[in-house]
Amino acid sequence: MAPLAVALNTLGIGTAVAAPQFNLDFLRGAQNEDDVAMLSSPGSVLPGTYPFSVYLNGDEIAREDIRFERLASGEVQPCLTRTRLRAWSIRLPNGQRDPQVQARCESLPALLAGSQVSYNGNQQRLDLQVPQVHLHTLPRGYIRHALRDQGINALLVEYTLNGSHDRQEHADNSNYLYASINSGLNLGMWRLRHTANLNRTSNDPATGNRTHWRSRSFRVETDLGSQRSRLVLGDSYTAYGVFDSVRFRGAKLANDDDMLAFSQRSYAPVVRGMAPTGGRVEVRQDGHLVHSINVAPGPFEIKDVVPNRMSGELEVSVIGADGAVQRHRQAFSAVETMLRPGLTHYELSAGILRNGEERYRPGFVQATLAHGLPSSATPYGGLLVAQNYQSIAMGVAHDLGRFGSASIDISHARTQLASGGSRTGQSYRFLYSKSLNARGTEFRLVGHRYSTSGYYGFSDAANEHEQWRNDHYERWEEDFETSDSAASADPAWRPPARQAITSARYQNKRSHLEVAVDQRILDDYSLNFSYSSQNYWAAQARERNLHLGFNGRIGAVNYSLFFRDTRSRRGRSDRNLGVSLTVPLGRRAAARANAVSAYSHSRNSGANYQAGINGTAMRSEKLGYGLNLGHSDRGSSAAVNANYTGSKGSLSFGATRARDYQQVNWGASGAWVVHGNGLTLAQSLHSSNVLVHATDGAGIGLENQSGVRLDRRGYGVISGVAAYRNNRVALRSDDLGADIDASRINGTVVPTRGALVRMDFDTRRGSNLMVHSLLGNGKRVPMGAEVFDHDGHKRGVAGPDGTLFVSGVRPDDSLSVRWGQETYQACELHLASLQLSASTIKSQGYRHVDLQCTQSGAQPRDRP
């Protein structure tokens, strides 16, 4: 790219702020001065229709085919109709409604004072600058539906493999294998997804020799963008909020909040005030500017403030046109059920419940609705009708200003029990959230919830039928508290042992309480506290979980302390106390390492010491490693692990050795992406992904994802981009050598949920030439003439004295030079005599050559 930049600077168009003007008197003898004048401007285009990205006040709003026409003055300008301008949310003065008038090309500066239009043909970008007063108000971060990309058709297969080999002192050697396959098919706007896994054990003490394949879920889904909704057919979950979330198979239609502008996705208050002289309103939180907008004189409302966190105080400054400043504070807090004023959230679900062991699968229909009111209140409610169960719920959430925010709701349910008879009851839920800004405290209380003895949630009602067997209830609980010393060698993915529990009465939930407090102490310290408890009817045991933690930093050293007190439903309890210390050992551009030490003590398992080193290495930190030494009441142990993340997936390896056991484990993960141009291997995928293709781009890295480089065909995958948001996709500029020419190295995509969006970059390996050329009649190519390859891609431009600055030239290229629309306003460059080899391209990079440019059309007579 460097020679092309030199060429542009030579022409005076590389870094100039104002558009350069050329004296056409120097081009006497040119056959078409209008074309040469047009081509001498940077980024100019010939009349025609081209795909352009349209930007309004710096924000991309559309990608459309734009027609360019030559004006009487000789300029080439885009054709902007009133219909198109209104579609771009530009407010135009009232005029004739004649369809012919609406479809006529207009001058935007003539229609709206203060407006500007500019374009760059090289970047295929059209910029409109329009005063705010002439725009329809849209929420900040709003992405127009036309920009959303449904992506390409593709087959997606994501895999995860984990395995281990265990040697235990008093047992046979055992092996374990786990495989998870997430497959998908994208067809237009439809997404098909299937999840399955495989468990295989040999000589396992708990399960023996077993191979189990399970299809976990299948669904088909699509978005309904105009309704800000999503339709899911198959396996899904109901939303948490009004009712508890449950897994089911059926159909769900619900709002997708990710389709909202980012400024509308979470609750924030409407900021109101008065601007006596007009001016600017600035909104700050914790001293940081979060919103700024110009307002007219009089009262104002700001509905798209995006706070840094969901509670606290907003400082509103009204800076008048006369310089006077008025300030006031507006406190707010939000609980999870709150919506911004004017927003509505709904969900309709119908299907068959798929919880538990699925002996009992009742059909059900559920509907919920919530709406944000201007008074900072959000009423919500829902109805659930199922086999042997009916429930109705209603409640309201409210922003209480400096007193925080709260919500309260009541649910009424009637349940037909498997043991006989029916029960009717109520459940009351209370949520509260408050921020004490001055003290750096975030306080949250969830009184979730108190239920009468006759109340059953939908999951409880289904579990009651599931557990009823032969005149008693029988449930299976996973035993995470096994004291067997061999359990410490089990891999984390191995399921824990299970134990059957019987009772004469079903233990439905009675009350649940959660409290969480986060306290910042200066800049380097924080204290966090959480407590939760759950008790049941017909049972004296209460589940409890208390956690107290402190985190701090002294220089570059980080430390943390914690205390945890737990009690299980079966009455087992434990207390843990621990401290950890992390000391950096150095950090370079391609590597960093930390020394980590920790001590913990459990009332049940005693003391445990750990010390080790972990870190990363290689560019983009693709290689991770760790070494750990431990000692506990059971003895000493040593462990090593390593993981590598590359373009085609991830690999991991680990080994542990202790007094009475040894274990070796391994893992692999990645994805196969099958598209119209073949197969591309990738790292693990997420909901929305980008397929990047760069011609001749093999080996070029991608800025957006660590460890990813384009394969030998120039393809790579970026996983985990945000749906319905602008996502920047860029090639790593450090990987673009002198032998690579790229018209652009970054772009923006707006994928829908589950889409695989394709982004193409026109990169080309070749020589960069400065061609000193003459026409057959001895004249020079006019300055501003453009050079194209046989595919129509622009490869260069003519500078003074007919010098052609050309980049990305290959040995087999055929180049044409054009400076007008007539046949004689073009010539051909023949490169065969240059003998450009691959080694020449890489070693020389920039060459001066002399070539004749051959014209084929009849030449007009010379001017006198």
Cα 24 to Cα 819: distance, rounded to the nearest angstrom: 14
Residue pointed to by tokens 């198979």 = 249
Cα 447 to Cα 483: distance, rounded to the nearest angstrom: 34
- Domain with residue 2: its CATH number is 2.60.40.2070
Rounded (5°) CA angle 67-72-73: 105
Q: Give all strands (DSSP E) within 480-556, no chain letters.
A: 497-503, 509-521, 525-536, 542-554
Q: Are 811 and 749 found together in one domain?
A: no
Residue 77 within any structural domain of the chain: yes
Least-confidence region, from 348-357, 430-439, 463-472: 430-439
User: Residue 497: pLDDT above 80?
Assistant: no
Q: Over pLDDT 70: what percentage of the chain?
A: 82
Contact 470, 443 (CB under 8 A): no
User: Residue 306: pLDDT above 90?
Assistant: no
> How does pLDDT run across 200-246, given as a tens digit for each residue?
888 766 666 888 888 889 999 999 877 889 999 999 999 878 898 88
Residue 394 within any structural domain of the chain: no
Q: Are 60 and 123 found together in one domain?
A: yes
Q: Are 103 and 70 found together in one domain?
A: yes
DSSP string, 94-148: -----HHHHTS-B-HHHHSTT-EEEEETTTTEEEEE--GGGB----TT---GGG-
Contact 756, 151 (CB under 8 A): yes
Q: The domain containing residue 292 runs over which residues?
A: 268-333
pLDDT at site 835 = 64
pLDDT at site 714 = 93
Task: Find all residues with CB under 8 Å of 344, minimum gap 6, and list them.
Answer: 255, 369, 370, 371, 372
> How does pLDDT run across 634-662, given as a tens digit for each residue?
788 899 999 998 889 999 999 989 888 88
pLDDT at site 385 = 97
Query: 119 burial class (0-12, 13-18, 19+ CB within 10 angstroms)?
Result: buried
Token pair of 437, please? 């800004």
* Mean of pLDDT over the chain: 81
User: Residue 477: pLDDT above 70?
Assistant: no
Q: Which residues on adjacent β-strands are paired with residue 90?
A: 135
Q: Between these two residues, 335 and 662, which has the higher pLDDT value?
A: 662
Token pair of 73, please? 């003055």
Q: Are 20 and 59 found together in one domain?
A: no
Token pair of 855, please? 């014209």
> How does pLDDT run across 350-391, given as a tens digit for each residue?
999 987 666 789 999 999 999 999 888 999 999 999 999 999
Residue 308 within any structural domain of the chain: yes
Q: Provide the pLDDT confidence category of residue 538 given band limits of 50, 70 and 90.
A: confident
Q: Are 56 and 126 found together in one domain?
A: yes
What is the number of domains present in the chain? 4
Q: Provide the pLDDT confidence category of residue 823 given band limits of 50, 70 and 90.
A: confident
Other Cβ atoms within 10 Å of 304 Cβ, number: 20
Other Cβ atoms within 10 Å of 766 Cβ, number: 21
Pairing type for strands 509-521 and 441-451 reads: antiparallel
Residue 389 within any structural domain of the chain: no
Q: Between these two residues, 349 and 24, which has the higher pLDDT value?
A: 349
pLDDT at site 860 = 67
User: Residue 2: pLDDT above 80?
Assistant: no
Amino acid occupying residue 846? Y
Residue 356 within any structural domain of the chain: no
Name which of 362, 407, 419, 415 is nearest 390 in CA terms. Answer: 415
Residue range 504-512: mean pLDDT, rounded: 85
Q: Are 273 and 319 found together in one domain?
A: yes
Contact 254, 229 (CB under 8 A): yes
Phi, psi dihedrals of residue 84, rounded to the nearest 5°: -70, -40
Contact 283, 289 (CB under 8 A): yes
Phi, psi dihedrals of residue 467, rounded to the nearest 5°: -90, -10
User: Residue 184: pLDDT above 60?
Assistant: yes
Other Cβ atoms within 10 Å of 543 Cβ, number: 16
Q: Are 47 and 116 found together in one domain?
A: yes
Cα 666 to Cα 178: distance, rounded to the nearest angstrom: 11
Q: Are 112 and 27 found together in one domain?
A: no
> How does pLDDT run across 16-45, given as a tens digit for each residue?
333 333 433 333 334 444 445 445 555 567
Task: Name the domain boundary from 705, 737, 762.
Answer: 762
- Domain with residue 272: its CATH number is 2.60.40.3110
Task: Name the domain boundary from 100, 117, 139.
Answer: 139
Task: Name the domain boundary from 292, 308, 333.
Answer: 333
Q: Are 779 and 858 found together in one domain?
A: yes
Q: Provide the pLDDT confidence category of residue 715 given band limits of 50, 70 and 90.
A: very high
Task: Find all residues with CB under 8 Å of 420, minimum gap 6, and list them.
Answer: none
Residue 525 within any structural domain of the chain: no
Structural element, H or E, at residue 840: helix 838-844
User: Residue 782: pLDDT above 80?
Assistant: yes
Cα 613 to Cα 586: distance, rounded to the nearest angstrom: 12
Cα 235 to Cα 361: distance, rounded to the nearest angstrom: 13
- Domain with residue 95: its CATH number is 3.10.20.410
Q: Provide the pLDDT confidence category of residue 498 given band limits of 50, 70 and 90.
A: low
Residue range 710-726: mean pLDDT, rounded: 91
Q: Are 775 and 847 found together in one domain?
A: yes
Contact 424, 416 (CB under 8 A): no
Residue range 571-597: mean pLDDT, rounded: 81
Q: Are 754 and 807 found together in one domain?
A: no
Secondary structure of 843-857 in HEC code, one letter for each residue: HHCEEEEEEEEECCC
Residue 775 within any structural domain of the chain: yes
Residue 847 within any structural domain of the chain: yes
Pairing type for strands 48-56 and 125-129 reads: parallel
- Domain with residue 728: its CATH number is 2.60.40.2610
Cα 371 to Cα 227: distance, rounded to the nearest angstrom: 16
Q: Are 90 and 110 found together in one domain?
A: yes
Q: Whats the size of the chain, residue-wise?
A: 864
Structural element, H or E, at residue 462: helix 458-467
Contact 838, 845 (CB under 8 A): no
